[in-house]
Amino acid sequence: MRPDLANDVLRLTGEHLVLVASSMAAAILLGVPAGILLTRRAGLRKWLLGFANVAQTIPSLALFGFLIPIPLIGGIGPRTVIVSLALYALLPIVRNTFVGIAGVDAAVCESAVAMGMSDGQLLRQVQLPLAAQTIFAGIRIATVTTIGTATIGAAIGGGGLGVFIFRGIASVDSAQILAGAVPAAVLALLADGGFGWIERRLSPA
Amino acid sequence: MPLVEFRDVGYRIAGRDILAHVSFTLDAGDTLVLLGRSGSGKTTALKMTNGMVFPTSGQVLVEGRATTEWDPIRLKRRIGYVIQEVGLFPHFTVAENIGLVPKLEGWSRPDVERRVNELLEEIGLGSPEFRTRYPRQLSGGQRQRVGVARALAADPALLLFDEPFGALDPITRRELQQQFLALTRDSHKASLFVTHDVREALRLGTRVALLAGGRLETVATPQEFRRASTGQARAFLAGLED
Ligand SMILES: Nc1ncnc2c1ncn2[C@@H]1O[C@H](COP(=O)(O)OP(=O)(O)OP(=O)(O)O)[C@@H](O)[C@H]1O
Ligand SMILES: [Mg+2]
């Protein structure tokens, strides 16, 4: 491998990781509380899950198109990419948080209430620990998907490993395409393995 | 003042009366057994006592105050409750399960520890290996004992038991009933004990209340109950003969 190519791979992998990490951080910070909110407010369930579902069905290029003209979150560059990736990652996180908590044995929750736990204590001491594995599975799926999807970000100047892929397509150069695709695949595998390992550690008792 | 008083309590949902015109009192030193068939409203009556369900008519008074007037958390912390499904926390050890309410109440760590050990001893799980086990590593009967210990932990004056000894072999059941009598033989405590087993009702109760279709058919001492002539009481007593 030429040294300048090796340098590019490192730099673009770094950019890629920043895209993925920022969008996942945003998706987790929004998605977990949203999922918790759904277990508390039945009325919101249809709306929020519906929104997350719809967000996921919009083709990513179209979503970029919608976001670019929006001030503050839009524009050309990584910011728009991060916002869109976060929107895509939202559904699995919200859904798994909701399903994980709703799936905690009703008798266990009932006894927690009967013992005089407040809603916050029920959530922190009982529901979140027992749902942690399911919530984490959602984060894992979202992360792995995001690593792949983030390659499209290069289409609007977001940087990352997609730069190689788009360049390779434009110049019909499969070496360039591989220079983007292989590191992205490796990142996805590493993320999957790493998160899977943590997930198994989280198994309640 | 009675510890618990049901005043003409009714609970109606979706046009159906789950409980209707239920009145009784429970004093310190008493064990009132709620006896009734499946669906007669026993669990609902227990949940009304600690404010998990509120009457749609009438009042439930605890220590003279309506459950609707109590701070919901304070009320529940003052009452020990063994729910029908036990509901131990699967991610807590036996010791953590038992120490839960004392810890919520802010007891110091050594006090919680001491109380947990004392209770483990009393329920016959005193050997140290049990402390650190998780509920799934216990037999059904052991889990039920831990559920009872958890309800007793903060030494509440009022105890609610929802069929705590269901689904046990007759010998273990008998053993646990003896333990129950030993643990509740305290003139300052009162218990509401739900069962559909007439033998258990007569053995444990200082009074037996028969619930049929959400109404109290009879409230009597075990001696009086044996001579009761109402329909369901006779049906239950017939079960004693086989
Ligand atoms: N939340 C609810 N919504 C509708 N019906 C309910 C509800 N809770 C209880 N019921 C009904 O109220 C009746 C009494 O229920 P409850 O749980 O008090 O019975 P139980 O005497 O404890 O029965 P079991 O011995 O089977 O536990 C039942 O017919 C039940 O279906
Ligand atoms: Mg019941």
Q: Residues lining ligand 1, judged by CB closer than 6 Å?
A: B 13, 18, 36, 38-44, 84, 196
Interatomic CA distance for residues B60 and B69, integer angstroms:
10
Q: What is the pLDDT of residues B38-55, one digit of tens each?
A: 999 999 999 999 999 999
- How many angstroms separate the CA atoms of B121 and B136, rounded? 20
Closest CA to B225 of B204, B214, B215: B204
pLDDT score at A141: 95
- pLDDT surpassing 60 at residue A134: yes
DSSP state of A58: S
For chain A, the C-alpha Rg in angstroms (whole number) is 20
Strand duo B215-220 + B57-62: pairing? unpaired
Give the pLDDT band (50/70/90) at residue B179: confident
Q: Which residue's CA is the closest to the ligand 1 atom numbered 17? A: B43
Q: A105: left (phi > 0), else alpha (psi -120 to 50), else beta?
A: beta
**Ligand showing the shortest atom-to-Cα distance for residue B11:** 1
CB contact under 8 Å between A116 and B86, yes or no, is no
Q: Is the pLDDT of residue A129 over 80?
A: yes
Q: Ligand 2 centre and the CA of B215: distance in Å?
A: 15
CA of B42 to the centre of ligand 1 (A): 8
Confidence check: pLDDT of B153 > 70: yes
Q: Give the residue with greater pLDDT, B202 vs A205.
A: B202
Residue closest to B104 by CA, chosen among A113, A102, A128, A127: A113
Tell whether the model's pLDDT for residue A205 goes beyond 60.
no
pLDDT at A58 over 90: no
The answer to which of A73-77, A119-123, B66-70 has the lowest mean pLDDT is: A73-77
Q: How far apart are CA A117 and CA A122, in angstroms?
A: 6
Mean pLDDT, rounded, for B191-203: 94
Q: What is the mean pLDDT of residues B54-75?
A: 96
Domain B4-241 annotated CATH 3.40.50.360: no
Assign B23 to helix, strand or coil.
strand
Q: Residue B188 — pLDDT band, cuts 50, 70, 90?
A: confident
For B92, what's the count of Cα atoms within 13 Å in the CB-facing half-sphere? 19
Query: Any chain A CB within 8 A of the CB of B132?
Result: no
pLDDT over 90 for what percent of chain A?
Answer: 67
Is it the case that residue B242 has pLDDT exceeding 70? Answer: no
pLDDT at A188: 95
- Give the span between the Cα atoms of B60 and B50, in whole angstroms: 9
Predicted TM-score (pTM) of this structure: 0.89
Which residue of B lies nearest to A202 if distances are taken between CA atoms? B91
CB within 8 Å: A107 and B90: no
CA of B198 to the centre of ligand 1 (A): 20
User: Residue B92 corresponds to which amino acid?
Assistant: F
Is B83 touching A (CB cutoff 8 A)?
Answer: yes
Q: Is the pLDDT of residue B185 over 80?
A: no
Interface test with A, best of B89, B107, B138, B144 (most A CBs within 10 A): B89
pLDDT of residue A110: 95
Taking CB atoms and an 8 Å limit, are B77 and A105 in contact across chains?
A: no
State yes or no: pLDDT of A191 exceeds 60.
Answer: yes
Distance CA(B3)–CA(B156), nearest Å, equals 12
Per the structure block, which two tokens stand in for B173? 């059941």
CB A19 within 8 A of CB A153: yes
Burial label, A82 (beta-carbon count in 10 A; 0-12, 13-18, 19+): buried
CA distances from A190 to A35, A66, A120, A187, B34 (A): 27, 32, 35, 5, 59
Query: Averaged over A149-171, what is the pLDDT?
Result: 91
B:141-170 residues touching chain A, CB 8 A cutoff: 150
**For the residues of B165-184, what is the DSSP string, one character each?**
TTT--HHHHHHHHHHHHHHH
Q: Per-residue pLDDT tens for B223-240?
A: 999 998 888 888 888 878
Centre a 10 Å sphere on the Cβ of residue A186 and count the other Cβ atoms it contains: 12
Contact at CB, A115 and B86, closer than 8 angstroms: no
- DSSP, res B108: -
Asked if residue A109 lies in contact with residue A122, where contact means CB atoms within 8 angstroms, the answer is: yes
The pLDDT value given to residue B230 = 82
The DSSP string of A101-128 is HHTS-HHHHHHHHHTT--HHHIIIIIIH
Contacts of A129 in chain B (CB under 8 A): 91
